[in-house]
Amino acid sequence: MRKIFAVLIVVMIFASCAAGPNTQRDLSDARGETAGFFQGLWHGIILPVSFIISLFNQSVNVYEVFNNGGWYNFGFFLGVAIILGGG
């Protein structure tokens, strides 16, 4: 019984970390633009600086929600890997 309870707790913890849908995907921002691969790459590269600034300035975000989905995410991941990926 304890083993089942422990497994259930672990499953609930992992399920609570799942990302929700991006309802702003494929929508344009106020300027009519949608962020793509290269903007994702740039946002990933400047992530450390953007994160620190976002702690003190509410108008700065580290991730653009008005993006085209997979290509933006891939660029963002690649940019983060370039800067933070050790090795």
Say how many domains are in the chain: 1
Q: Give a yes or no: residue 46 inside a domain.
A: yes
**pLDDT tens-place string over residues 18-31:** 666 656 666 676 67
pLDDT tens-digit series, residues 22-64: 566 666 766 777 888 999 999 899 999 999 998 998 888 888 8
Does 38 reside within a domain? yes
Task: List Cα–Cα distances, 56 to 27, 31, 38, 44, 77, in angstroms.
Answer: 28, 25, 26, 19, 24
Express each pLDDT in 66-78 by its tens digit: 888 889 999 999 9
pLDDT at residue 22, rounded to an integer: 59
Is 39 among the domain residues? yes
Residue that has been written with the tokens 């620190």 in this structure: 52
Domain holding 38, by residue range, is 32-87
pTM of the complete model beyond 0.75: no
27 within some domain:
no
